[in-house]
Amino acid sequence: MYKLLIFDWDGTIIDSAGRIVSSMQSAARDLGLPELTDDAVRNIIGLGLPEAIRILVPGIDDGSLEKLRQLYSKYYITDDPTPAELFPGVKHSLESLHARGYRLAVATGKSRRGLDRVFADTGLGWLFEASRCADETTSKPDPHMLQEILQETGVKASDAVMIGDTEYDLDMGVRASMDVIGVSYGVHHQDRLKAFDPVLIAHRFVELEQWLECQSSVVE
């Protein structure tokens, strides 16, 4: 059915929302900025970091934005003890999908440095033949990073699907003229995802693998 599966990372592959929220709150506190609520930070997960910060702190100047970005990265990478682990079943399902011939890619709001680090930490990097990060192209929900992935892989939009946990992921996929799949266990409520007419909302990662297997059986 699909040749290329394009995944968001944070909130879809890895359960990192808690660390993102805590790290951003700590960074803002260090700079004496107004307290950021959990909901406010969770809402911007998936966007590129500069775009996210401008939403969280309206009117922030460029210098303060850069300081907040650096502090956030420091907390997230080394100073925040909040766990950020793969969601249950992710490793097995990704390996199974890859073994069955699906081509895999990542479209993420992370930086290239951040994605390369988690690729190495999780040991999953070898599964993905293409990836785009927010500091390499235009932030979600602009479809540019998906268009670049399609161009790199030579896959048509009709043969690809975007999979993510936020409305930014699904909006991006729709704008790129491809099917979208939402996961309900991430940061945005499934009601927000339903607005983009996903072909599936998965409540566990393994449900994605099971659904794709059923679709393949129907086609065959």
Please tell me the distance from the alpha carbon of residue 49 to that of residue 38, in angstroms, as a whole number.
16
Q: Does 167 lie in the same domain as 120? A: yes
Q: Which of 79, 106, 130 is the last residue of a domain?
A: 79
CATH number at residue 212: 3.40.50.1000
Out of 10, 80, 165, 179, the active site residue is: 10
DSSP code of residue 29: H
pTM for the whole structure: 0.94
> Catalytic residue at 8?
yes
Three-state SS sequence of 110-175: CCHHHHHHHHHHHCCHHHEEEEEECCCCCCCCCCHHHHHHHHHHCCCHHHEEEEECCHHHHHHHHH
Q: Does 142 lie in the same domain as 33? A: no
pLDDT in tens, 117-149: 999 999 999 999 999 999 999 999 999 999 999
Give the 3-state secondary structure of residue 14: strand
> Catalytic residue at 10?
yes
Q: Which of 79, 112, 133 is the last residue of a domain?
A: 79
CATH number at residue 70: 1.10.150.240
Please count the structural domains in the chain.
2
Please tell me the distance from the alpha carbon of residue 104 to that of residue 125, in angstroms, as a whole number.
10
- Domain range holding 131? 4-15+86-219
Please tell me the distance from the alpha carbon of residue 207 to that of residue 88, in angstroms, as a whole number.
11
Q: Does 112 lie in the same domain as 39? A: no
Q: Does 122 lie in the same domain as 91? A: yes
Q: Which of 79, 96, 120 is the last residue of a domain?
A: 79
pLDDT in tens, 141-199: 999 999 999 999 999 999 999 999 999 999 999 999 999 999 999 999 999 999 999 99
Q: Does 123 lie in the same domain as 91? A: yes
pLDDT in tens, 35-89: 999 999 999 999 999 999 999 999 999 999 999 999 999 999 999 999 999 999 9
Out of 8, 80, 165, 179, the active site residue is: 8
